[in-house]
Amino acid sequence: VVVVLLDGDRYTKNNLERQNISRLDESKNKAEAQAVYLKSLFNTLTIVPIPEFVTEKNVAEIITDKSVIFLAVDNHATRKIVSERCQRLQDVVLISGGNEISDGNIQVYIKKNGRSRNPPIEKFHPEIAQPRDKNPAELSCEELTRLSGSEQIIFTNLTAACLMLNAFYTIVAEKPLRYAEVYFDIERNKALPRQR
């Protein structure tokens, strides 16, 4: 098993409130810094950092058949690029999670032996099918800095992460996944699965 961490962004001080990293090394980007941290915890895992954003140019090199993708990005343009790549593969699992301050959703797309088990993540989400935002690789440093100030809280991030891992466990345990999407709201303590 090879774990690939992909992120073209750098850590900022506000990342430390929501992400567990023992020491901020501003010379490394997020993928590199997390790889160092995770290797210290799990020294038997092969962890490969790629300090880039996903783009239309590099997506085919990064996402290949038999990949399991945990997609945790802040923009719909990247979600669309990843989803379209997954649809071209024969066997792939895509688990996408996103959230605002107190709510969010996770989406699961599975393709096995060339057959989609559920709809792609943009099927019921026009904001992904026709994104109005840009891929981070297309943004200037000034635009990226403005985007990094979006407010999030750790409780909501952790809820999205747990729901993504729940889906992963169900898939790996070869149990039937009875949903393709889960909406959640931490203020209402609700999680609503949808089959689609």
If the chain, 196 residues long, is cut into consecutive pieces of 10 residues, what is the mean pLDDT of each piece? 88 59 66 87 93 95 97 94 98 96 96 96 95 82 57 89 97 94 97 90
Q: How many CA atoms lie within 13 A of 13 on its CB side?
A: 0
Residue linked to tokens 């990843």: 82
Per-residue model confidence (pLDDT) at position 70? 98
3-state SS class at 12: coil
Per-residue model confidence (pLDDT) at position 176? 92
Q: What is the pTM of this model?
A: 0.89
Q: Position 40: which residue type?
A: S
Strand ranges for 25-73 from DSSP E:
46-50, 67-71
Q: What is the largest CA-CA distance in the chain?
A: 46
Q: Phi first, then psi: what are they for 147, rounded to 5°?
A: -70, -30
